[in-house]
Structure 1
């Protein structure tokens, strides 16, 4: 039972959906639905209108561009993204979306749900941040593209302009020897990610790490980049000793997990203390980097 009353619309074009959002300032996008429906049932969200994107065919599917980048439509399901052949080389992303919920959730929910509902601390968001993905946003003024750093790390709700919809996630082409991995630790009852680490590594011609990005999920209501961990491995050989040093830097990183008014950080604090979560950051970073390096 949903105790909230609202109007419902299922437009068949992205332009129509944008117009509905523009005309209804308290409208809520339904992009798959699990997170939104859960919030509606709990009475935590009270939109005047729910705009369902499921009938918009242009938001579905995975395409590879001439430059090697991968475009994932916002209404592509988690399962489709997790099993797509073109995404298997993006290990962190395919693993992250393949670990969300159960099979039924992955068959029904779409990759746009996380961003439509502003669930920017999830597994998918960490992988997108580590891989330097881009987000295509369509609104009244047309389409614009933001980097993951701009979109995911922005204060909650500020990256999307009024009336804008996330229409696609764009993964950049993989340069040279590149690999990524995702590791997480979940709560045994809720299966919510207590700590998730996405790591992306590239090697230069000399065999040393030319680029390393490590992103942390479930710290607060946005994912967090751990630059100290990436810097600890960049320019060095990807040896177990150097990976261990990067993992230690991840654990030692000063991550603010108790931002004022941040519901997720308070929830995570109930699951695990800051010292334990710092330990998880270190352990999972070492595992993710080791797995990523093994795939080079």
Structure 2
């Protein structure tokens, strides 16, 4: 059986992000740059959003982790990601890949193959359809939304783990985090309103980057990041509903929760299971 992972363990990683403020280099998509940067800041990390060919390798040289997100692709940005990933791999810092919209177009799939061939990601985080497509399963996404549940993608996640020797996180109603040691964490926090705010999944990915920068166990780091976002999102939705407000208010409340969530509330709300696959 895997080692026990407790709420207290995960909280210590949350506290480490807040205390150490790791620099996360994020080459993300145009839709979510602002929200992703604010999510990192609220959680205690430091964001840098740089994609110029002339500086991405240098930026990866000073950051504590690299996040790449293929949401709004073009050839220039793909090359930026390749350059940054090569530099990050050379330094040995964590690389987190978000295969946004994988399976939607052949170009998107080809770009993913190029990136994974450049450097094996430390963590891949996506929804069910994205993980299945990245693993080579014959499935198409609905734009950037999932047409498959997280549970449907577990076989694909295991195949990706075996290919990359890293961590794969499948997001959904239940988030699944698997690694090459066959550890499997399942998180059941969050709220359906999180699906109505653009960039929440991408924000999960940058949080994974921040946690991997302070916690060398990438499986535990990914679990902690997803736990924080799930609990914060759950709390924010409940606060918005209590105020007869909607998802616009919830987005602001989510940032508040990421910044101010206390340990007791986190541990009380956390719904975590750990097993082997």
Higher relative helix content: 2
- Structure exhibiting the larger radius of gyration computed from Cα positions: 1
Question: Shared topology, TM-score over 0.5?
Answer: no
Q: TM-score, normalised by structure 1?
A: 0.28
1 or 2, which has the higher strand percentage?
1
Q: TM-score, normalised by structure 2?
A: 0.30
